[in-house]
Structure 1
Amino acid sequence: MNIPFLGARHRKGGEVVLPTDPEAIAALLSECELLRSQAEEAGVRLDDTPAALEALDQLLPRWRDDTELLPWLGNDAGLYLGTVVVRTVPGAAWHLREDGEPVLRLASGRETEVVECGRAWASSGVPELSQLYAELSET
């Protein structure tokens, strides 16, 4: 998931310069506007906790019938999973690759492409977001 708006406004010698402030990156990636609106419509409050991931896993996946909505919701689900991990697991942080792709980096050094995980969850429900959180919080 290339996020061109993260660095496209700032160019240095023809190179895109990505933001380096971890808090700014985390705040930007935590917006997940589409997922938050879908959850709110279903009566689920996303408060950036593991319990919210469990609540998302219980939603009726009405979005699977919308081929345009599905990939965007999957992106948001992955970013939301990463947001919960960053906010609750010591040492976890976002890392932006040179191409602008966000990956979750754990204190152990392990990197996880949570956006891909979110896409899988949105399209099939497997693995569950709460299960992924449990795995990531243990490493």
Structure 2
Amino acid sequence: MHLPFLGPRHSRRDDDGGAPWRARRRAGEPRADPEAVAELLSECELLRSYADRAGVRLDATPASLDALDQLVPRWRDDPEILPGVGHDAGLYVGTVVVRTVPGAAWRIRSDGEPVVRLASGRTAEVVPAGQEWAATGVPELSRLYAEIAGS
């Protein structure tokens, strides 16, 4: 996911594949606001529309992930919608982690893909897991959250 408002991509990479929000800012470049980025990544409009139609409230809690795991995956019938729902599911899991796990924050890798960085230093690639969940139902989003939060 390329986020142009974050500025140009950087060619230098750290060992963990990304940079903290405060790092790698060139002179004169605007600083990305972590709260604004988190708000943007939490939108997940396509996933929210499916959840809303099913009566599931996405309130950025682990319980909402349990509810998503119970949805009938009607998006699998539409190959054009499936990738978007998966992407949104990954971003939503990341949103729940960032909002509920102390020290967790979004980080944008040098390739533009959003990942969650935990206080332990571990990075969780939530988007590919969300795409797998949308396509197959595995891993369950609630289980993915538990694995990430328990790190």
TM-score relative to the length of structure 1 = 0.89
Counterpart for residue 127 of structure 2: 115
- Structure 2 unaligned spans of 5+: 10-25
- Structure 1 unaligned spans of 5+: none
Distance (whole Å) between structure 2 residues aligned to residue 99 and residue 36 of structure 1: 26
The answer to whether the aligner puts 1:56 opposite 2:68 as a matched pair is yes
Q: CA deviation at 1:5?
A: 4.3
Look up the SS of the partner of 2:139 in the other structure: coil
Look up the SS of the partner of 2:106 in the other structure: strand
TM-score relative to the length of structure 2 = 0.82
Aligned residue-pair number: 133
Distance (whole Å) between structure 2 residues aligned to residue 104 and residue 18 of structure 1: 22
1:94-133 superposed matches below 5 A: 94-133=106-145
Distance (whole Å) between structure 2 residues aligned to residue 133 and residue 18 of structure 1: 32
Q: Which amino acid aligns with 1:97?
A: R
In structure 2, do the counterparts of structure 1 residues 41 and 19 end up closer, same or farther at CA, with 3 Å as the change threshold? Answer: farther
Q: CA deviation at 1:21?
A: 1.7
The answer to whether the aligner puts 1:93 opposite 2:105 as a matched pair is yes
In structure 2, do the counterparts of structure 1 residues 56 and 18 end up closer, same or farther at CA, with 3 Å as the change threshold? Answer: farther
Distance (whole Å) between structure 2 residues aligned to residue 67 and residue 49 of structure 1: 28
The structure with more helix, counted as a fraction of residues: 1
Q: 1:26 aligns with which of 20, 38, 48?
A: 38
Q: Which amino acid aligns with 2:39?
A: A
Q: CA deviation at 1:138?
A: 0.8
In structure 2, do the counterparts of structure 1 residues 124 and 11 end up closer, same or farther at CA, with 3 Å as the change threshold? Answer: closer
Q: CA deviation at 1:6?
A: 3.8
Counterpart for residue 3 of structure 1: 2
User: 1:118·1:129 contact (CA, 8 Å) conserved in 2?
Assistant: yes
State, as a whole percentage, how many aligned pairs show the same letter.
Answer: 65
User: Which protein shows a greater Rg?
Assistant: 2
Look up the SS of the partner of 1:95 in the other structure: strand
RMSD of Structure 2 on Structure 1 (CA): 1.9
